[in-house]
Amino acid sequence: MSFEYHSGRLHAEEVALDDIARRHGTPCYVYSRAAIESAYREYSAALAGRPALIAYSVKANSNLAVLALISRLGAGFDIVSGGELKRVIAAGGDPRKVVFSGVGKTEDEIALALEAGILSLNLESGAELERVDAVAARLGKVAPVAFRVNPDVDARTHPYISTGLKQNKFGVAYAEAEKLYRDAAERPNVKIVGIGCHIGSQLTRAGPFVAAAERMLALVQQLDTAGITLEHIDLGGGIGIRYHEERLEPIGAFLDGALGMLAGRKETLIVDPGRSLVGNAGVLLTRVELVKHGEAKNFLVVDAAMNDLIRPALYDAWHEVRPVRKTGAPQGVYDVVGPVCESGDFLARDRQLAAMAGDLLAVMSAGAYAMTMSSNYNSRPRAAEVLVDGRADFLVRERETVEELFAKERVLP
Ligand code: LLP
């Protein structure tokens, strides 16, 4: 494990977190290279022996150092904006291994993707097909496309992160798919390359994932019969991680179910994991500013806040909180809260913790959807990011300064 206690001090690999706090300050995200690589290897081992591409979902953690690390492992990338494409390129990623999803790609983003030569634009509507065809024609290019099909499978996860139901905005309706493929096949500036789906995030059971794969495969066979052949099948991301007491099926169980069905088929299998590659590879390191005893509750007021980790406020997510050093502080039941002016500004509630002012805490499982969802609310500069590799720690993003926050603002003359 990458975050463990040695002599009473919580470490990231071989570096003590209190040393990182001293060197880089708090709040600070700390990532473990070994943890990312070992999660990646679970995928590559499960997919060994068949044409496959692991397209890391950039939205989970888009720091250039993380992207470069994952790119060097041979991964491609799943992106949802032109900004993410530019990050992938800046990190040395290969645009030919990039799939671009999202319901509202702008013409500029489509043009950027075509110029970069990405693997596939995953279209989410007929209107988008028309738009991509038009941009490609204007640039004198042929756009590689796939449709993201909505398999209408209940992922049984939080409604905000469920994406594969009829009522979700994502994907094209299953029943419409063949018609859209036939339309695409007629267009000279479009080349059909694949099909994709994504049913939701933080899936703990393989069942819905495998059910979606089954639905996709049935569609692939239907398209085959219609004379439309595909180069890849993209089953999305979504495999969950352990935050608390989730009982998770291993990555292999998700993939084996799908692989079994795809056995003997020549299409490349693409998966686009985000959280499961980086989520448990990061912590948010924060310092207790003060202890507040309220009338009904006790609070540890820390220097990280909802702007650094919005998941508890947004999804009622549970993140484990661990003391960085085991001290003699008295045990208590606390809400761990930030200084932001919102009652929703909490990182954890009703936790048994021993901590006092000045102590460091680690908010666990903060490698995914933490920094990437952070904001500057309350004019709070975004935290530093540190990547640990064995005994070494590298500052991979400097803490923002307040001046940077308003550097682009102007007052009236
Ligand atoms: N591919 C597509 C097309 C997606 O929409 C997503 C995530 C992924 C891949 C990556 O899914 P993952 O492997 O990370 O589950 N902010 C939320 C998660 C939103 C995920 C949306 N789509 C959270 O913090 O829980």
* Residue of minimum CA distance from atom 23 in ligand 1: 369
**Percent of residues, the chain, with pLDDT higher than 90:** 88
Cα 68 to Cα 43, 71, 102, distances in angstroms: 18, 5, 23
Find the radius of gyration of the CA atoms of the chain.
23
Q: Above 90 in pLDDT, residue 168?
A: no
pLDDT confidence of residue 171: 85
**Percent of residues, the chain, with pLDDT higher than 70:** 97
Average pLDDT in the chain: 95
List 336's β-bridge partners, or say none. 300, 348
Contact 308, 27 (CB under 8 A): yes
CATH class of this structure's domain 102-271: alpha beta
Q: Above 90 in pLDDT, residue 72?
A: yes
Ligand 1 center to residue 315 CA distance, Å? 13
Q: Above 80 in pLDDT, residue 163?
A: no
Active site residue 341: yes
Contact 154, 165 (CB under 8 A): yes
- Smallest CA-to-CA distance from 312 within 282, 279, 348, 285 is with 348
Stretch 358-368: mean pLDDT, rounded? 98
pLDDT confidence of residue 237: 86
pLDDT confidence of residue 151: 86
pLDDT confidence of residue 161: 65
Query: Which amino acid appears at position 355 of this protein?
Result: A
Stretch 35-46: mean pLDDT, rounded? 97
CATH number of 3-31+279-405: 2.40.37.10
Q: Above 80 in pLDDT, residue 154?
A: no
Report residue 98: phi and psi, to 5°.
-110, 130
Mapped onto helix, strand or coil, the DSSP state of residue 350 is strand
The residue that leads in pLDDT, 170 or 214, is 214
pLDDT confidence of residue 165: 64
- Predicted TM-score (pTM) of this structure: 0.96
Ligand 1 center to residue 280 CA distance, Å? 15
Ligand 1 center to residue 201 CA distance, Å? 5
- Smallest CA-to-CA distance from 98 within 184, 106, 87, 108 is with 87
- Tell me the best of 58, 59, 278 to mutate to test the pocket of ligand 1, counting ligand atoms within 8 Å of each CB and taking the most: 59
Q: Which of 48, 263, 296, 341 is catalytic?
A: 341
Q: Above 80 in pLDDT, residue 301?
A: yes
Ligand 1 center to residue 284 CA distance, Å? 20
Q: Above 70 in pLDDT, residue 164?
A: no
Contact 269, 76 (CB under 8 A): no
Tell me, using a 6 A CB cutoff, whether residue 274 lines ligand 1.
yes
Instruction: Give residue-wise pLDDT tens across range 316-340.
Output: 999 999 999 988 888 999 999 999 9
List 184's β-bridge partners, or say none. none
Domain boundaries, the chain: 3-31+279-405, 102-271
The residue that leads in pLDDT, 266 or 170, is 266
Q: Above 70 in pLDDT, residue 399?
A: yes
pLDDT confidence of residue 125: 94
Instruction: Give residue-wise pLDDT tens across range 114-139.
Output: 999 999 999 999 999 999 999 999 99
Region of poorest pLDDT, from 147-151, 240-244, 309-313, 356-360:
147-151
Q: Above 80 in pLDDT, residue 395?
A: yes
End-to-end CA distance of the chain: 57
Tell me, using a 6 A CB cutoff, whether residue 120 lines ligand 1.
no
Instruction: Give residue-wise pLDDT tens across range 239-275.
Output: 999 999 999 999 999 999 889 888 889 999 999 999 9
pLDDT confidence of residue 411: 97
